[in-house]
Structures are given as C-alpha cells and as structure tokens.
Amino acid sequence: MKAFVVTHYGPDGLEQADVPAPEVGPHDVLVDVRAASINPLDKMVRNGEFKQLIPYKRPFVLGHDLAGVVTAVGADVRGFEVGDEVYARPRDRRIGAFAEAAAIDAGDVALKPTTLSFAEAAALPLVALAAWQALVDVAQVQPGQKVLVHAGAGGLGSTVIQVAKHLGAYVATTAGTKDVAKVRALGADEVVDYTQADFADVLSGYDVVLDSLGAASLEKSLTVLKPGGLVISVVGPPDPAFASQLGKPLLKPVMAALSRKVRRRAKQLGVRYAFFFMHADGDRLAKLAALYDDGTLRPVLDRTFDFDQTLEAMAYVEQGKANGKIVVTR
C-alpha cells in the first residue's frame, strides 16, 4: 500500500513509499483511511525531537489523526464491525495515519461524528483530546474561571476556545488582525490583537493559560496569572511529571533540569507550570463526537490536500500558513 514514511530523522526525512499492509492483531481494527490531518507533532516526530522518549524503528509511517472505514476487526474486539465510520488518534508508537490503511488498537477508536465528513472528522482527534485533557484533566477548569488561549485561530487554539466556553469559562485569546472576527465567532470573550498590543500589558488575573507558542510567550504568560494560576504548555520544556506519563521515572532528573528555569520563575510569581502531552483515548473521542454532532463544538479547517500531496501539506503547515487544520484526503 502507499504510505508516507520517515526513513531518517530531519526535515527531508519523510518520503512516499510502498509498504506492506498492516497486520491486524486481536485487539485491533483495520481502517481504510479516507482522511488524515497534519499536526505540528508530525514535524517534531519526523525531525527526531522525541526519539529518546518515543522511539520508532525506521522506516515508520507518520501521521497522528485519521478518519475512515473499518474493514476488519481483531478476534477480541467488541463494539466495532466492518463498515463502521470511525475516527482516531492512534497511540504513540503505533501512529501511521499517512497511509491507505492503518491497524489501530480498538481502545483508541470511536465512531466518527455522524454530521461530519471524513475530512472534518480527521481534523479533530488530536486537538479535541488535547483541549479536553488539558482543560479538564490537568487544569480542572470550572465555570466562571478565566482562561487565556494563545494562537486562537490555529488548529489547537480554535478547539481550546470552544471547549473552554463549553466548560463555562471566560475566554481570552491572542490572534492577528485578520482573525479577530473568527475567534470571536468561536466564542472568545476578549481578543488581543498581537499586532497592536502585548497580551501581558492588557491581561491579568487569569486562572489558566494554554500556551502553544513556546519561549516567546511562556514567561510572559506566567505574569498574567492570578496567584496559584497555571500555565500549561504543549511546546515548552518537559517537566518531571512527563517522565511519569511516559513510564520512564529515571528521566525525571533530566526533565527537572530542562524545565528548572520556568518552574523557578513560576514559583517566584506564586503560580504553576505544567508541560502537557496528550494521549490516545477512544472513550473520550466517543463523548466528544456527541458534542460535535449537537453543534456545541465544530471543526475548523483551513484547506485540504490530496493524499499524494502529503509532503506539500506538511510544508504548508511548517511555513505557518495554516489558519485551522490541514487535512489530506483519499
């Protein structure tokens, strides 16, 4: 089958290739992939940024988000059958969305929202799970709390805004001039146009900040929190808790060293810092599907590419052109 595989780590490490069809284990479902979305995580994995933490044996098929049709089920699988339309974020070490087919642990799969196309559904799993896990599981956001979402027009930010509003939060976001109306339509109560003002000069008293920009905004984000507030970063330095999430407690000292500066600054300000890395969860995807079907949440797509244009789609995301999720379709 056709697939896009990482042959070596680096910007030129992704290539189209013919690979064997995936084997279906007893706990797996085989999915005919109709659409897959591009995430910044794909670039990071391709470039080897997680190779010490999440090792893959090269060559391996890239891709963390997909939607498609079940074509086979493992002997021990219950709840799925051939012909089901599903979506998934396959678990780490078993990714492979940039292919004609993927074998996925059934625990990572859910029936896709019935009101959405395959392209729309493929745009959701990683960002929807990340938004929910960060705001609910980590931050435990409550109604009336104040949440700042950086880059609100992007694939993750646009989803976090919607989930935060669903949870009853007051939501602020940063965006460029051309996207102010867009993020307000998604539910943002306050928008800081970063071409006109510095968010740290105009915002204060926030309970939670979700940062996806990194060093440029991370330290300033700490200053807009109320005492005891929390910055959650998806791109900042990993903290010791991430080593526990990976099941590698011996790496805690390394993670502590990497995040020492930002954790020290947070302590000085009386606030908290947490690094966040989402995990696969089919049960939560099933619940999120209901929120998309009833209109509480909606996908935000920039554009789609043909499957054979996956390399061009990756380049489009890397160049910072995306204004929402980028999806490749078959």
* pLDDT at residue number 222: 97
Domain 2-124+299-329 and domain 126-275 have a common topology? no
pLDDT digits (tens, 9 = 90+) for 209-254: 999 988 879 999 999 999 999 999 998 899 888 888 888 888 899 8
- Report the alpha-carbon distance of residue 314 to residue 311 in Å, rounded: 5
| Section 120-124 average pLDDT | 98
In what helix (H) or strand (E) does residue 241 lie, and over which residues does it extend? helix 240-245
Q: How confident is the model at residue 10 (pLDDT cuts 50, 70, 90)?
A: very high
* pLDDT at residue number 236: 87
| Section 79-90 average pLDDT | 98
CA-nearest of 165, 185, 163 to 175 is: 185
φ, ψ dihedrals at 311, nearest 5°: -65, -40
| Section 161-168 average pLDDT | 98
Question: CATH homologous superfamily of domain 126-275?
Answer: NAD(P)-binding Rossmann-like Domain (3.40.50.720)
Q: How confident is the model at residue 133 (pLDDT cuts 50, 70, 90)?
A: very high
pLDDT at 14 over 90: yes
pTM: 0.96
Decide if 122 contacts 66 (C-beta within 8 A).
Answer: yes
pLDDT at 31 over 90: yes
Q: How confident is the model at residue 302 (pLDDT cuts 50, 70, 90)?
A: very high
Q: Where are the domains of the chain?
A: 2-124+299-329, 126-275
* pLDDT at residue number 262: 94
* pLDDT at residue number 227: 98
Q: What is the mean pLDDT of the chain?
A: 95
pLDDT digits (tens, 9 = 90+) for 166-213: 999 999 999 999 999 999 999 999 999 999 999 999 999 999 999 998
Amino acid at 152: G
* pLDDT at residue number 137: 96
The strand pairing partners of 190, in sequence order, are 172
pLDDT at 321 over 80: no
| Section 264-279 average pLDDT | 95
* pLDDT at residue number 34: 98
- Could you name the CATH architecture of 2-124+299-329? Alpha-Beta Complex (3.90)
